[in-house]
Amino acid sequence: MKLLVENRDKVRILTMNRPEKRNALDSELTQELLKQLRVADAEDAVDAIVLTGAGPAFCAGADLAEFKDLKDPHAAEARAELTMQLHLVFSKMTTPVVTAINGAAMGGGAGLALAGDLAVMVRGAKIGYPEAKHGIVAAIVMANLVRQIGPKAAFELVALGEGIDGERAMALGMVNRVVPEGQLMDDALYLAAKLASLPKAAMAQTKRLFYEVLDLPLEESLKRAREVNRKMRGFGKA
């Protein structure tokens, strides 16, 4: 199976399972990951998600071997749409996601690493956007990157294409923690369990409002926050 699904109490663990391909995203894995994220988000018994990779890499990005065979423009467009939906789904979900970056996260893999709400990175791993070195553009992953770390740092990453280590990633605000290899899943599951322990309605509204205000002017953000404040006073601790 290209995606492993496991439950730890109220935490759903999704593990990309193509270690021989450094968990590169072909259409099948991308579709299954998108599906399972949506399934987990819809399940009452799942209150947090951990996303990680099998083997030495988190995710090498798009499967270039598959892209070489996409001669039909319609097929290429459909693949791009699928990729966009995968990177978009994280901000549309109400269930929090922790990414456990167990190794190299490159291109689309770097985009996935940052797409989660919290990120734990193993010391020695690298995050990078090498697309420009190969004559292409880090296109779909760029929007989230700029939002998270700002224009100057983001441009450096996508233009130079050089990978950065965990300490630099944390300094830029890309990840929350950098840990030794043997500690990665313990820390990721700890954070996920903490998120899962919070009242589900409050967590859902927190995440929904968080991603809304990212794209709204200040006045509109405050108005939206006022609406949520009124609504949550009615929820109490439900």
Q: CA dihedral defined by 183, 185, 191, 194, rounded to 10 degrees?
A: -110
Alpha-carbon gap, residue 127 to 151, rounded angstroms: 17
Q: Is 63 left (phi over 0), alpha (psi -120 to 50) or beta?
A: beta
Q: CA dihedral defined by 176, 177, 181, 185, rounded to 10 degrees?
A: -60
**Pairing between strand 11-16 and 48-53?**
parallel
CA atoms lying within 13 Å on the CB side of residue 82: 18
Tell me if residue 131 is catalytic: yes
Q: CA dihedral defined by 207, 210, 215, 216, rounded to 10 degrees?
A: 120
- Catalytic residue from among 131, 156, 167, 220: 131
Neighbours of 94 (CB within 10 A): 14
Instruction: Return the active site residues.
Output: 131
